[in-house]
Structure 1
């Protein structure tokens, strides 16, 4: 079909072209003809639950959120999961589409997306036993490890009614203007629960053989196709590798996929793992596109266009997947939280300006599982597009920022975007602050991308940066600024009352992670918060800090997919024949013995993230890190660390003691009581408050302040 066909003028008089040739990423920007409709490119914004789907009065915000991504160039959007009935809720009163009145609210979304030439699918998700409410149902009455409610086993009458509910929701979606629906059949939700023998112990026509276990899904597809007709997209997200005991093998995945083809699907999307799986799939330590090999195996066996997913966050990775024929389309979810203009930047060969998703989960998935409003650590505007307007400043001002950590950088870029004149002063010879320490932790190599993003935005916006410049009060007085932002961050807290803390064997976490000092073969880490766990992981893998780590051309070497699979026990063969794709894990060989201690009672790591903490804890166990709680630090000697445990004084023989016992704010440049500065002063990030400091708060505070100025 000629390219000109896809460049037709949109019916709403938009000037945006449906698609265009692209020499930088030709496969990403190739249209896809589905017969009855076309996608303008191969880039899909995957489903994410934002917290806005559950209340009708949030749909204006949800429409603005999706519109920003459609305007940003994405070809197809898939909404967060919407339940077909009450039993399918994820949480009480969750988003449901089963009444004609729901159509009105959803039309706001479809209209907002369509006026920019993108298409949108409503994802229909039945939580099954994953639901957090007392009405949960499942194929068998087997309780989920991630929900407190035991499900009721579905009767055949209940199954028939649920199939009808799926079809009814799809019909309403069509009335609301959606271009199709996606059926959530993976990740351990209801349809997946029917498919897998670990959760389906039925002995009727919906249990036993693979054909019977897959019958529920096939009947849903057929019912939807009959209800909506042929010219409507039906995407099915199937589990290409389940990563749970008694899970499918690849031959069964292929057989199931073929039955879905026969039932009338349009697209096959790939799901990786269950929510209860003990294999990381979505954290930053997962190598980019690690699981795409399984998508490739499925693509070779079916005729339906296949969508690759999971840990794909940059155009080069996405382009390679398509160019090597591993998939027909590429889906990204969190990367579109991080940057709504991802597609346009890729089209214009501005990959260096993409605000890359670093897979941290701190403001997205952690918020979802805590029933909080979703946003993004590196992009606080995400999901607040209708509430926060980055309007040009009415009167441009001179803004001086002291400190080039992520708080100061966030403020600088936001202020400069609004038209303010911005100057940054940084005492060190590089920007990035604490991110320069985080980025050297094994598995956190993505943090380099955030520093790169800020560096490129500084160049683009013409922000002046004075490195190697320690500012004092006299300098500030002569700068004639309208606003001074103190973003000088934190320094590690010292245990000044601990005997022996000044011995050479005692180092701070910043001295260790910066490469200034090197640890011995036996190390005690004092403090088991997020920094303590990061330091322990750094130590068991061995220092990887290079002399040029702060050079802008420095490239971190991330773990390979093969090494990752070996560590976690995933069968690397794309045609895996072990149930769920699981195999024996290869034990980590730590390069030193590490002790991780905390003063408080209870298990270590209680403050770690909801969706990432278990991964860090598992790595500690794999590496043989000895974890000690309720430790009273007595003294440090040449022999090692003396601690009192259960009232008994004991010696832990170590060569190095690393202090991870908190931070202290650096804010001596803030005006003191009685001062009368000419400029308005503001403190953000660690300089404002060191307790509970994290990058999410630092970046958000810098952004929000610059929006107000």
Structure 2
């Protein structure tokens, strides 16, 4: 703890004393009930973060005006007194751990989806909140006053429900943001034009909320300090309009971006740790009020330095606390090596919630709701488990089996653990991925009943010698190489210009040093891997073409990565060829067909990234050999079907436990 004095220093703001500087900022979860009520799993989700030592938890945004201001599919509501008891149950549970609790009140304005709310959305003007979004209706002055009153009523309910503070959302393309931003606000009355006029609605909301909650109840305001869009508010613009919002605000939660720049709101993986802290510092220095900063903060030293340097007073860790609910307690107790650090993949959180309307999940934390322990769920007799494959799926399975009390053996034919995650992490923009295998390996090393054999390829004989009760195959995947003319003859061959993703990674240091400015690079495959290759070479100034057989690039990407990738393609002027089939691979060009016409795409370096295929070479032999024996055999992760880390982690955890339970071993 002495190492991080600033992190664990209390902060008092009016009637609220936060025990440390770690904040869980508001993030939608889709855990709410269909009618906007809290569910038990929702409460348990927040309870784990409170139990884990978080100083302040700010609940996800709640609707103040239903259905007009509703956001998402199962958004919580604070537009009626009937919701107060449920929220009181939550605050009562969380307060038992010494955690302060706030909640964000919000009106989505033009960000509401017409098919969900059943009417046309409203806004400052008739400008959509994102590209391709619904056209809203401009609010009248009378309607503006009514909505202001609804914010105040919701804030009073917040206070009655036992919360310690209320946060007003004034960023991220929601209604107040739609008044503040000149991109959305085209009004010519007293609510449009100058910074003072555009801030008028937000100021009315803040003043009315203050009137409702009294002088000593803390008010937090979340802002998009820089919108990162041409014609939108810059940090300098924000510092100007905040002069008109400032008086009754106690804490500024300094975020950034709008819907069309979501990669700077839900931080893309390439953004450095604490990258947004300069914004909170600017707000803090001008207004002399506490600020919250967020932005890929995972490492305790980064958080400590931000606080020590006066860039912020509180550290917001959103996805970081989804991945690691016990962050504060682990850091306080000197257990940094056990931190499960978010890898900023945005798949289970933003991808599930925003893109697919699913409940929130996490790539590296297979259970975001319940206690991360197998206490009380141990095997009832001696059980041997053999895991083949030391990638992330295999490591999760091996650790889970060992934590359940099994004597566990892990085979990995490489000299190191981590599998494909280790390989992909060698790309400069993907280095955060390394944190997950690091965590799994540290976890494995602490388990005395987990024995690992690296540099050892499993055989039927070696597995049998260990007298297994359960065998888990997790042998991963390799690049998919279809029978395209010339492909197998050239890809990753000595002296060839044609490579797979592994061919790039194998020589990544050489490519980092190589001057490729102006060189032609052609990438076949518009999925995540192909786009990684494109990103690498565009950053180095290459002339890049991407070729995709489907009508669109990045079809299966999460919403944040998709926006980031499409922005990158546009800004770097990448030639994108969709509905284009690869016919032949040649020494220095790809023969393709587009619109029933054959073309040659010349390159200095060509990459074929057509996905991955599962590999389970030993599995049929194992199944045959152990067919008449009392041995359970499982196949998990990419060796079943090439997918993402999240599926392998989930199977490594849950299929392992479910199998032990089904065999009556637990």
- Structure 2-normalised TM-score? 0.90
Question: Who is 1:149 aligned against?
Answer: 134
> Would you say 1:681 and 2:633 are equivalent positions?
yes
Aligned-residue offset at 1:348 = 1.6
Q: Which residue of 1 aligns with 2:480?
A: 493
SS in 2 for 1:269: strand
Query: Are the counterparts in 1 of residues 129 and 173 from structure 2 also a CA contact under 8 Å?
Result: no
User: What are the residue-to-residue correspondences of 1:531-610 with 2, within 5 Å?
Assistant: 531-541=529-539, 589-590=540-541, 592-600=542-550, 602-610=551-559
Q: Establish whether residue 266 from structure 1 lines up as the match of residue 250 from structure 2.
A: yes
Cα offset, 1:198, TM superposition: 2.4
Other structure's SS at 2:523 match: strand
> Aligned Cα RMSD in Å?
2.4
Q: Deviations over 1:230-281 (max 9, x none)?
A: 332211112222223333344442343344332x222111121112237644
Matches of 1:353 and 1:231 in 2, distance apart? Answer: 39
In 2, Cα distance between equivalents of 1:147 and 1:80: 25
Within the alignment, does 1:376 sit opposite 2:365 as a pair? no
Q: Secondary structure at the match of 1:633?
A: strand
Q: Distance in 1 between matches of 2:580 and 2:73?
A: 42
Q: Distance in 1 between matches of 2:127 and 2:105?
A: 23
Alignment-derived partner of residue 694 in structure 1: 644
Other-structure match for 1:633 = 582
Question: What is the CA–CA distance in structure 1 between the aligned matches of 2:373 and 2:2, rounded to whole Å?
Answer: 35
- Alpha-carbon separation, structure 1, partners of 2:138 and 2:524: 49
Task: Give 3-state SS (helix, strand or coil) of 1:612's partner.
Answer: helix
Aligned to 1:232: 217
Alignment of 1:423-438 (within 5 A): 423-438=409-424
In the TM superposition, what is the alpha-carbon distance from 1:653 to its structure 2 partner? 3.1
Deviations 1:70-125 (A, max 9, x none): 01001000011001011210136632112221111112211121010001101101
Matches within 5 A, 1:279-678: 280-281=264-265, 282-369=267-354, 370-382=356-368, 384-385=369-370, 391-395=376-380, 397-462=383-448, 463-499=450-486, 501-503=488-490, 504=493, 505=496, 506-515=498-507, 522-541=520-539, 589-590=540-541, 592-600=542-550, 602-670=551-619, 671-672=622-623, 675-678=627-630
1:306-347 superposed Cα distances (whole Å, 9 cap, x missing partner)? 111222222111111000011111111110001001111111
Contact 1:401/1:424 (8 A) holds in 2: yes
Residue 170 (structure 1) aligns with:
155
Please give the alpha-carbon distance, in whole angstroms, between the structure 2 residues aligned to 1:121 and 1:230: 16
Residue 490 of structure 1 deviates from its aligned partner by 0.9
Greater per-residue helix proportion:
2
- Distance in 1, matches of 2:522 and 2:187, equals 52
- What's the CA shift string for 1:594-615, capped at 9, x where partnerless? 4322333x13222222221121
Shift, 1:376, TM fit = 0.8
Q: Do the aligned residues in 1 keep the contact of 2:583 with 2:591 (CA within 8 Å)?
A: yes
Change (3 A) 1:220 1:622: closer
For residues 589-632 of structure 1, give each alpha carbon's deviation from its aligned partner in whole angstroms, at most 9, with x where no partner exists. Answer: 52x444322333x1322222222112123323444443333434
Structure 1, gaps ≥5 residues long = 1-21, 542-588
> CA–CA distance in 1 between the matches of 2:80 and 2:302?
41
Aligned to 1:364, what secondary structure does the other structure show? helix
* Residues 312 and 332 in structure 1, CA contact (< 8 A), matched pair in contact too: yes
TM-score w.r.t. structure 1 length?
0.85
Structure 2 CA distance for partners of 1:206 and 1:619, relative to 1, 3 Å: closer
What are structure 2's unaligned runs of at least 5 residues?
A: 661-666
Aligned residues: 635
Q: Does structure 2 retain, via aligned residues, the 8 Å contact 1:243–1:279?
A: no
Distance 1:259 1:593, change over 3 A: closer
Residues in 1 aligned to 2:187 and 2:593: alpha-carbon distance in whole angstroms: 55
Larger mean Cα displacement after TM superposition, 442-451 or 67-76 = 442-451
CA–CA distance in 1 between the matches of 2:434 and 2:552?
Answer: 31
Alpha-carbon distance in structure 2 between the residues aligned to 1:686 and 1:249: 44
Aligned to 2:663: none
Structure 2: how far apart are the matches of 1:524 and 1:195? Answer: 43
Q: CA deviation at 1:673?
A: 5.8
Q: What corresponds to 2:39 in structure 1?
A: 59
Which has the higher mean CA deviation after the structures are superposed, 129-138 or 245-254? Answer: 245-254
Do the aligned partners of residues 223 and 493 (structure 1) sit closer, same or farther apart at CA in structure 2, a change above 3 Å counting?
A: same
**Matches of 2:391 and 2:536, distance apart in 1:** 21
In structure 2, the residue matched to 1:8 is none
Aligned to 2:664: none
Q: Conserved in 1, the CA contact under 8 Å of 2:320 and 2:341?
A: yes
Mapped partners of 1:213, 1:623: distance in 2:
34
The answer as to 2:56 corresponding to 1:76 is yes
Residues in 1 aligned to 2:555 and 2:230: alpha-carbon distance in whole angstroms: 27
**Worse-superposed segment, 493-502 or 46-55:** 493-502
Q: Is the 8 A contact 1:121 1:182 kept in 2?
A: yes
Q: Counterparts of 1:649 and 1:62 in 2: how far apart (Å)? A: 55
Is the contact between residue 479 and residue 610 of structure 2 (CA under 8 Å) also seen in structure 1? yes
Choose from 252, 255, 261 the match for 1:277. Answer: 261
The CA distance in 2 between the partners of 1:92 and 1:523, in whole Å, is 42
Residue 704 in 1 paired to residue 623 in 2?
A: no
